[in-house]
Amino acid sequence: MRLLVILLLTAPAWSANAEPLELRALQATPADSPSFSLSTRIWGSVNDYSNETAVRLHALTLGLVDMKFDLHKKRARFNLGGGDPKAFRLCLDSNIVIGEGKAHVQAQLGLALAGYQVQIEIPDIDLHSESVSGQRAYVLSMPLVTQRF
């Protein structure tokens, strides 16, 4: 009970119209920089926060998960897996591009066993949402047969 009272006493006093520090930092524009719109600065901050989260997740999983986001270009990269190529290694590598209301995923699966390595290309996947009977549904489109030259 004492700890709760101390936390309440040391909490900063906020006025009714006070804005959070992060929002004030986004709205402030340095005098020597070009003026960017608030939405551009928010997208930049969200991009930075998502990449920082990806770096921490990479460290937390000891390198098994690796992500990179570029929200301005609407791209993402996702890697999952690991291991030693001389013993056993399994890795899923994917590039995700978002545009025209859908996500386009290009992925490949890497497998290594006792020094032998195989790269398996997974067919491209398109994911989009649509309304079915008033409910949101996600449609996954993947070709069954592909022919590449």
pLDDT per residue over 47-73, tens digit each? 899 899 999 999 999 989 999 988 888
* pLDDT tens digit sequence for 28-49: 555 555 677 888 888 888 889 9
Q: Is the pTM of this model over 0.75?
A: no
Q: Tokens representing 30?
A: 């340095």
* pLDDT tens digit sequence for 86-113: 899 999 999 999 988 899 999 999 999 9
